[in-house]
Amino acid sequence: MWSNGEILHYITTRDRGEEEALFAAARKVREEQYGLDVYFRGLIEFTNHCKNDCFYCGIRRSGPGVERYRLSPARILDCCRVGAGLGFKTFVLQGGEDPWFTDERLLGLVRAIRAEFPDHAITLSLGERSRESYRALFQAGANRYLLRHETANEAHYAALHPPETRLSERKRCLYTLREIGYQVGAGFMVGTPFQTPQCLLEDLRFLQELEPHMVGIGPFIPAAGTPFADQPPGDIHLTLRMVALTRLLLPRVLLPATTALGTLSGDGRERALMAGANVVMPNLSPREVRELYSLYDNKICTGDEAAECVRCMSLRVRASGFVPNLGARGDSLVPGAEGPGKAAAPGEGERAPARIAIPVP
Ligand code: SF4
């Protein structure tokens, strides 16, 4: 069990040798748990309408000049077909909190995807909804749900969101999703305005308490037209150290090498893989809408066709010394990953917790 002091030491260290040792330890743990495989998720960003107004977000409700789009359920299903044709076993449906997507419409969509792709994993990322809605979507065939907590510190959360958006509600949703039986993905941004090392420590402690199946960690990147447009982006080294610390503290989680890391630094995703990440999410959204899903400025991978994204990511994964595994669902090793359409994933099963050997700070 790491003490708060030890964790804070690695959050704040500027010693590159120590940082490399941290990354090596995280890589070792990831290899002991998941081997060298990197799992692929097909990302479909299906709406940039959102009723919320998070201060950091480029598609927030009051964002000026945002050209809005919404894919029809039929179009989303087409994207899944393209993804399945390329070999994907997981679809991630991500969007803003768009009231047009009522439970009725979403249930019809999830049922249609489940009927056509009985063995695929269906991941939803639709924000905060009621327990009844989460349950109905799960029963309709969804397996996973991504909902980043963004920051586990109450005061920090209030500095990043308007008053109608509350950390307590975000946490309620995450625990509800876990209880219903979803594979749950939480996560946070590194380098948001007002963030302190203590906030990041609280993020890690919250994750240990929640025990999510996935953790998405990306650097803060400012978005034009938001209150934080002039703020500096998050630091790549600190973001990577948070990826590594998450791998060490929660050995069995799935950890994406996020697009935001690749946006901040050309080799950011490769460096995340070297720091313990084991998932990538190529984009399956139609090319003409990709640029419109701009949560932050200068987002990469908006121009290529889905097949090109897959080829590019496979090359990057191989070049980093890992094995692209497009054909597996890549379910989490964290207990409680059962659900609709569950299929055995390569390397799945109980393994002994990894021993961590890094220099004591
Ligand atoms: S971060 Fe999510 S919930 Fe907040 S404004 Fe952006 S899309 Fe909406």
Pick the atom of ligand 1 nearest to 95's CA. 7
Beta bridge partners of 185: 146, 214
What would the pLDDT profile of 287-314 be if each residue is shown by its tens digit?
777 777 777 777 767 667 777 888 889 9
Atom of ligand 1 nearest to the CA of 60: 5
Q: What is the pLDDT of residue 338?
A: 54
What is the CATH class of 4-325?
Answer: alpha beta
- Whether the predicted pLDDT of 340 surpasses 70: no
DSSP SS3 for 122: strand
Please return the burial class of 130, using the count of CB atoms within 10 Å of its CB with bins 0-12, 13-18 and 19+.
exposed
pLDDT at 347 exceeding the cut of 90: no
| Average pLDDT of the segment spanning 158-169 | 97
**Residue among 49, 50, 160 whose CB has most ligand 1 atoms within 8 A, to mutate:** 50
Q: For residue 164, give both structure tokens.
A: 């109608």
Sign of CA dihedral 23, 25, 30, 36: positive
Indicate if ligand 1 lies below 6 Å from the C-beta of 140: no
Pocket lining: 249 vs ligand 1, CB cutoff 6 Å:
no
Question: pLDDT, tens digit, for every residue of 203-215?
Answer: 999 999 999 999 9
Who wins on pLDDT, 280 or 361? Answer: 280
Q: How far is the CA of 187 from the centre of ligand 1 (A)?
A: 14
- Cα–Cα dist 105/114, whole Å: 14
**Residues 6 or more apart from 125 whose CB is under 8 A from it?**
92, 93, 94, 95, 145, 146, 147, 185
Q: Are strands 90-95 and 121-125 parallel, antiparallel or unpaired?
A: parallel
Confidence bin at 353 (pLDDT 50/70/90): very low
Task: Tell me the CB-side half-sphere exposure of residue 53, using CA atoms within 13 A.
Answer: 10
Give the strands of the sheet with 279-280, arranged side by side. 279-280, 37-40, 323-325
Mean pLDDT confidence for 186-195: 98
CA 97 / ligand 1 centre spacing (Å): 7
Q: What three-state secondary structure class fits 163?
A: coil
Best residue among 49, 59, 165 to mutate for probing ligand 1, ranked by most atoms within 8 Å of CB: 59
284 Cβ below 6 A of ligand 1: no
212 lines ligand 1 (CB under 6 A): no
Please give the pLDDT value at position 300.
67
Q: Which pLDDT does position 287 carry in this prediction?
A: 78
Q: 13: Cβ below 6 Å to ligand 1?
A: no
Residue to mutate, 45, 49, 51, 57, ligand 1, most ligand atoms under 8 Å from C-beta: 57
Write down the pLDDT at residue 308.
84
pLDDT of 360 above 90 = no
